[in-house]
Structure formats: C-alpha cells, structure tokens
Structure 1
Amino acid sequence: MKINVVGTSGSGKTTLARRLAQALSLPHIEMDVLHWLPDWQEKPDEQFFAELASMLEASPGWVLDGNYDRSRPIKWREIDLVVWVDYGFWQTLFQVVSRAIKRAWSKQELWPGTGNRESFRQSFFSRDSIILWSIKTWRSNRARYLSAMHDEQYRHIRFVQLRSHSEAEAFIRSMAGNA
C-alpha cells in the first residue's frame, strides 16, 4: 500500500504517518527530511524530486508524509490512499504553537544532519515563523485538498479526511486491523 499523509503544518502529519507506518509495517518517508539542507536551505526541486522518486521506487509500499504540492506528479503517480489531517483551525494553531515551544525549548535538531533547530525568535518573531506559515496556509490547504478529492484526474486515489484526533485513532486501528 502506498499512502501520502497531508495537512497543514502543525496538524500532526508526521506523527500520524509514523504511527500508520508502524501499524502497517511499512517504511515511513518524511518529505521534510528529503527537502531541507543545513542552515534552512531548500534543495533545488530537481534534486528534491529525484531523491523523492528514488525513495518511492525503492519499496513496494510506504507511508509518505508531506504536502509539497509541486511534487504531486511524482508522489501521487501510483498512490493508493491520501490521508488528509484536516483538524479545525484552532486545533491546528494550538498544535503548531505547542510544537514550536517544545522544539525551541529542547533545541532538538529537526532533520538529521541539517543542524536545523527552531528557536523562540524564529517561531514567534520572524516572517519565516512556522506558526505564521500555518496560519497563512490553513485555508488554502483546505481548499486545495477539497478540490483534489473531487478532481477527475485523482479518481484512482482513495481520500480519507480526518477531522479529529478520535477519527485519526479509529482510522489507525481500522488500518492495522486490515493489515
């Protein structure tokens, strides 16, 4: 099975994808790991897309987490399921703020080998704030995924929209039971 977990930054995509991958005994692929270089530099799309395609082709099944809408032609080419973590605005905002505080406090490296860490200044007082990004993109992400769910070119894909933590828990249990 090939699954892409999508949703606004801070919605819980990576956590859900990890848990789903574990429940299904599939590899978990985090797009941010493939995308980010040290010092918050982004890989050029050509390199990013090549590495993404290589990772996806390396296994007959996987759980991929991440949006990177421009990569849809690669990641949705042979996908079976898109799981959309679509929690409400206030829930998502609460989660992204909580996560930013924890990460800034712990100074944990976000992606191995990059040295990239969140700081209080970056998270709360910067134009590059993940919190600000989440606020700005929440509505447009919802519109994009609602549109994709009804787009004829994606009719081969099963979409699951999760609107709460309890729905997510039930979904993981049902997928694990069918594995």
Structure 2
Amino acid sequence: MTDERERDPLNSLTGSNRILILGRTGSGKTTLARELAAALDVPHVELDSLYFGPDFSTAPLSVLRERTSAAIAGECWVTDGNKRAVRDLVWPRADTIIWLDYGMHVSLWRLGKRARARTSALSAQAAQTGRRTGLPKQMLAAAGGVLTALKSHRGQRREYPRMLAEPANQHLAVARLRSPTATREWLTRVTNAARLPA
C-alpha cells in the first residue's frame, strides 16, 4: 500500500457505503463498527456473530459463507473482522477499509479487560444458579484471544499492505488508524459530519 493510497480517514468515507474494519484481536473492531454504523445509520454486520454460536461453538464453513453472503448483500453496511474464510466475499463488496493498526500493548490490555469482565459475569451467574458451565470455556477463549493477537501482530502488518496493493483491491479507500486516540478523534469527526444536513 503506497502512502498516496492512504487518505484522510474522514475524506475516505465520502461516498463510502460498505465499510470493513480490520485489526488484530482486541483492537476494538466490533465496538468501532457498532458506533460507526449507528453514526451513519446503516446496518452493522458482526462477522464473529455469524461464526460463533452458544458456548463458543462454531458454524461450519459453508454456513458461515452463506450467512456472510446474505449479511453483506445490502448496499450499505459496516462490518468488522479478519475472517480469512470469507475474505473473498467481503473485500470485493467493501468500498472502504478502516485498519486499526495499534501497538500490541493496546490489544493485550483490552483482551485482559474483556476476559475479566466475562469471567466476572460468569462467576456471578454461577453464584446465582450454582452451575459453573461456561467459565472454563471463557478462560480458554481469553487465552486463545491473547495467542491470536500475538501471532497476528507482525503478520497483519506485512499481509494487509501486500493485499491492499493487489490489483483486485484498488477499489478500496483505506484509512489506517494507529492509536485509539486517533480513532476516537476520527469517529467524532465522522459522527459530526453525519449530523450535517445533506
């Protein structure tokens, strides 16, 4: 990806209808996608919710691809996720990519915070019901999230620029946000711009 291709993130949303948010595990993709979709008044498509079921069960690949195709068939949406299994469906449909390219410390801190919140919620539920189902899976999922973040850190920084430089992806406007502060400032500008009369 060349520097010329990267544009001001606010300007890259001009004419954007189908926005994909990328970033490593724990970067805040889903939170940003939810907030951005609300600001733009478009549907939010959470790829993880199409893939994961109760107790972290996973959908078969064919089901995930079917669900994803249906979810992104609309003309306007914001989606989040790095699912390789559906990349060939999502990237050609998207017109804008927002890449949350934060330092590893941000993801690890957020994953720890997420794990504590989920564990607390399950512990409270177990205290009320006397059942401890779900807690071991939550703890394994938290550990898996940390491992995924660690493994993907360098890979994404090499892989995404290479992929974005491919001829098939030249239609994508790209905004690479390198800190949570930059992302908050950007979201504020987008939200304010969305409130302006057309």
TM score, norm. by length of structure 2? 0.77
Other-structure match for 2:33: 17
Is the CA contact (8 Å cut-off) linking 1:10 and 1:96 kept in structure 2? yes
Q: Is the 8 A contact 1:5 1:85 kept in 2?
A: yes
Does 2:59 align with 1:40? Answer: no
Amino acid at match of 2:32: L
For each residue in 1:148-175, what CA deviation from the matched residue of structure 2 results, as whole angstroms up to 9, or x when unmatched?
2322221100111111112111221232
AA aligned to 1:163 is R
Whether 2:81 is the aligned partner of 1:66: answer yes
Which consecutive unaligned segments of at least 5 residues does structure 1 have? 110-114
Structure 1 residue 119 corresponds to structure 2 residue 134? no
| One-letter code aligned to 1:151 | E
RMSD: 2.2
2:185, 2:99 → 1: CA distance? 14
Q: Determine the C-alpha separation between the residues in 2 that align with 1:160 and 1:144.
A: 16
Please give the per-residue CA displacement for 1:120-142, whole angstroms capped at 9, x wherever unaligned: 45534xxxx21122112222122
**2:111 and 2:142 in contact (8 A); partners too:** no
CA contact (8 A) 1:29 1:65 kept: yes
Measured in 2, the distance between the counterparts of 1:131 and 1:41 equals 19
Paired residues for 1:148-159 under 5 Å: 148-159=163-174
User: What is the letter of the counterpart of residue 46 of structure 2?
Assistant: E
Larger-Rg structure: 2
Q: Which amino acid aligns with 1:11?
A: S
Is 2:187 the counterpart of 1:172?
yes
Whether 1:4 aligns to 2:20 is yes
Distance 2:56 2:180 in 1: 30
From 79, 87, 97, the counterpart of 1:82: 97
The one-letter code matched in structure 2 to 1:159 is V
Q: How many aligned positions are there?
A: 169
Structure with greater proportional helix content: 2
> Structure 2: which 5+ residue stretches go unaligned?
1-16, 126-132
Q: Which amino acid aligns with 1:119?
A: Q
TM-score (norm 1): 0.85
Note if contact 1:101-1:120 (Cα within 8 Å) is conserved in structure 2. no
TM-aligned CA deviation for residue 84 of structure 1: 0.8
